[in-house]
Chains A and B, each alone.
Chain A
Amino acid sequence: MPIQVNTAVKGKEYPPFAVTVERGKIKEFARAIGDLSPFYLDDAVGRASEWGDIIAPPTFPVTFRHEAAGSEALLADLGVDISRVLHGEQEFEHFKPIRPGDTLLVRSRVTDIYEKAGRSGPMAFVVRESTITDGENDIVAVMRHITVVRL
């Protein structure tokens, strides 16, 4: 018996949340990937670089989470158990470097929900877009995340 997803979630905007980028978190994230570039890990190299400090790896914004605006909230709204979801697609656009101490605002919304037949049965695709801005209201990065629900 296939499950249903609550398609009324399409268009929903989640409350904005603020994050302050931690130096140790950047390094922990780079090391977890096994990317040991000194531009992520070595403070002296960062200081001497064009950015004046270490910067975050391209996929680092995935660490920007909040219980009221993240995957847990989305799955609760969709009425879907975590065991049924897969990560389908992911995209990052970068406009400004992310450095330790940056305080950023994250705003997410569900831009689309559609169903398709997959190899292993019917699936729902839930598209989320998160816009990350800084204190000057410049867009720092945009993340697009497609969650696949096995129906």
Chain B
Amino acid sequence: MKYAKVYFDDIEIGHEMPSLAKGPIRQIQLTRYAGASGDFNPIHQDPAFAKAAGMGDVFAHGMLSMGFVAQAVTDWLGVGTIQKLGVRFAGLVRLGDVISCRGRIVGKWPAKEGGQGQNLVDVEVWAENQKGEKVVTGRATAALVSRW
């Protein structure tokens, strides 16, 4: 976790987001996330249900992994800076997995002259498991203040 204010002036295209490691994923976290989010799909709780559904075993809520990715972005660029976050759930997160959330700046858009609008940066984001397989891919847009 990081709290220093990040300024638009200090971020450039190609900068890498500090990697955030989450996990290993435990059943208790999936149960806790079910309660916190209201998603009680038994496929995340009940191994017999998951097996009968053809999924082999329970797996994590996609939204939990998206929460990890959002945390990686806000740990870096600041809480309250995310204007947009969109992801695709590219692979299942299983019990015991360690998830690394990563990203890099792919766009930088200064506010228009005269104080109109906001300074925006686009971040390509992804999360991968301990085997290097991508489980989440996506993009975030964050608004950053300028030093000047």
Contacts and interface: CB of A to CB of B under 8 A. Distances in A.
Interface of A: 25, 28-29, 31-37, 39-40, 50-51, 55, 57-59, 62-63, 65, 71, 82-84, 86-95, 97, 144, 150
Interface of B: 1, 22, 29, 32-33, 35-39, 41-43, 49, 52-54, 61-64, 66-68, 70-71, 73-75, 79-80, 82-89
A90 to B, nearest CB: 6
A55 B35 CA distance: 20
A94 to B, nearest CB: 6
A60 to B, nearest CB: 9
A58 B86 contact: no
A40 B62 CA distance: 21
Contacts of A34: 22, 29, 68, 71
A142 B41 CA distance: 23
B86 A51 contact: no
B82 A94 contact: yes
B37 A37 contact: no
Top 7 A-B pairs ranked by shortest CB distance?
A: A91-B86, A32-B36, A33-B67, A83-B53, A87-B62, A39-B79, A35-B71
Contacts of B70: 35, 57-59
B89 A51 contact: no
Given A29-B37, A83-B53, 11 more contacts: A31-B32, A35-B74, A57-B74, A59-B67, A59-B85, A88-B88, A89-B89, A90-B86, A92-B86, A93-B84, A94-B83
Contact of A28 (B36, B53, B66): B36
Contacts of A33: 33, 36, 64, 67-68, 71
A82 B42 CA distance: 9
A90 B74 contact: no
A40 B82 CA distance: 14
Given A33-B33, A87-B61, A92 B67 contact: no
B35 A58 contact: no
B64 to A, nearest CB: 7
Contacts of A36: 1
A83 B49 contact: yes
